[in-house]
Amino acid sequence: MSRKTWAAVDDYIVDALFEADPALDAVLATNHDQGLPAIDVSPAQGKLLSLLARMQGARTVLEIGTLGGYSTIWLARGLPADGKIVTLELDPHHARVARSNFERTGVSEPVELRVGPALESLAALSTEDAGPFDLIFIDADKPNNPHYLSWAMRLSRPGTVIVCDNVIRDGAVLDDDGHDANVEGARAAFSFIGSDKRLDGTAIQTVGAKGYDGFVIAIVD
């Protein structure tokens, strides 16, 4: 089974289950035109985030790693009218593109975008007594995964759902030689969730337009 087939099946999923969405398509085109890397979630994964928000009855979402806001928009669409999402991004250019995408898709109101190193933004959120968040999506620099999970615990409540993306990495998650900081970050996410008694989690391997990867998902007890 090839990546070409995985991508074709992703297209099939979108054609079969999604309504046409020119505004969301324009977001990906804008990201490309603005030179952003195509490392956003796939449409099928974005819809899953949106459905998770709805299943969770989430009113508040924290996202770490905005890029051009593609996943943020999917998450925002899963929120009720009075829902809020705080999304954290390091790169000012990514943040500018994301803001224009939020306007284009009509989600500027529920989205608060904070620019800067996420660890600083998370500390600020904690100082401001923000949260607890109902759903937390971690998708930034992978070596910081354990720190993000640690902050996620502080900004959560029993019942909060935490999703951490890109933890399978073409199966490289099995490599324990410490040579790849992103793989180390993925493994650290597993260690964190596996060893924290307050978290109950699993991971799902995925294939699709974005290749072979996966996400870990956990609930705070």
Binding site for ligand SAM (CB under 6 A): 39-41, 65-67, 70-71, 88-91, 94, 117-118, 139-141
Nearer to ligand SAM, 91 or 180 (CB): 91
Query: Which long-range contacts link 167-176 to residues 24+ away (Cβ below 8 Å)?
Result: 167/203, 167/213, 167/214, 167/215, 167/216, 168/203, 168/205, 168/206, 168/212, 168/213, 168/214, 169/213, 170/211, 170/212, 170/213, 171/212
Nearer to ligand SAM, 70 or 192 (CB): 70
Structure tokens at 134: 């109902």
Nearer to ligand SAM, 70 or 151 (CB): 70
Minimum CB–partner distance for residue 221 and ligand SAM (Å): 26
Minimum CB–partner distance for residue 177 and ligand SAM (Å): 24
Minimum CB–partner distance for residue 197 and ligand SAM (Å): 28
Which H or E run contains 214?
strand 211-220
Minimum CB–partner distance for residue 8 and ligand SAM (Å): 21
Q: Which residues of 41-56 are buried (b: 16+ CB within 10 A; e: fewer)?
A: bbbbbbbbbbebbeeb
Nearer to ligand SAM, 163 or 218 (CB): 163
Minimum CB–partner distance for residue 84 and ligand SAM (Å): 17
Residue nearest to ligand SAM (CB): 40
CA separation, residue 179 to residues 106, 173, 175, 176 (Å): 42, 11, 9, 8
Nearer to ligand SAM, 27 or 199 (CB): 27
